Amino acid sequence: MTLKYAGLKPMIDQHGVHFKDGKDDKFSYLIYAIDILKAIDHPYQKKMKYSHNIINDNYKPQEIINILLSYHPNLEKTMNQEIVSYKTHLDSEEEHVNNLVNLTDIEKKTFINNLKIMRNYKIQRAKNKIFYFHCIETIVEIILSNKIKEIDTPFNERFWHILQTIQGVLSKHRISSDLKIDNKDEIKAMLFINIY
């Protein structure tokens, strides 16, 4: 399993490849997600508040992998199955282009070649995204098992995005949460979890 930055989301057609602003690779969020995971995974005492302000941005990709593998030893096997599914999806994209009636044969060939050129790029982005969501699911598992009611992080775009993603996964467990900004002393993002 290899994690590395791939880049922005590619928009591919018969005219070429363009990249969508604002659709960054999930690899950019992994260090922050792992930081939250490490910060909340410890023994808890009742009626104590835990806050984490320092990000450890020294994690190397292999260290990030090893941290998550320590929680889910079979993760690599699971991810490989998910990537096989994704590759099948990429194959069906090519087949779909082949069946488009509004494109000439040359346009179809160009479109398919553009898809082939970007295939490894898209696979790496998918690996990063799959790994990111497994990391978020692990964070939610810890929130649920430890009945964590609040997570505070520094306020920035990366942490905010991760807290929103955690919120979405919590809602799948039928647990509501509120995401707020506090700027009393220093600006921070706060996720309040309505658990038990």
pLDDT band at residue 184, thresholds of 50, 70 and 90? confident
pLDDT band at residue 37, thresholds of 50, 70 and 90? very high
Residues 178, 171: Cα–Cα separation, whole Å? 11
Q: Backbone dihedral region of 182: left (phi > 0), alpha (psi from -120 to 50 degrees) or beta?
A: beta
Q: Taking the C-alpha atoms of 156, 162, 190 and 38 in order, what is their torsion angle to the nearest 10 degrees? A: -100
Joined together, the tokens standing for residue 52 give 């984490």
pLDDT in tens, 66-118: 999 999 999 999 999 999 999 999 999 999 999 999 999 999 999 999 999 99
Choice among 9-13, 40-44, 73-77, 141-145 with the minimum mean pLDDT: 40-44
Q: Which residues of 84-99 are buried (b: 16+ CB within 10 A; e: fewer)?
A: eebeeebeebeeebee
pLDDT in tens, 7-20: 999 999 999 999 99
pLDDT band at residue 123, thresholds of 50, 70 and 90? very high
pLDDT band at residue 53, thresholds of 50, 70 and 90? low
Cβ neighbour number for residue 164 with a 10 Å cutoff? 13
pLDDT of the residue at 72: 94
pLDDT of the residue at 168: 97
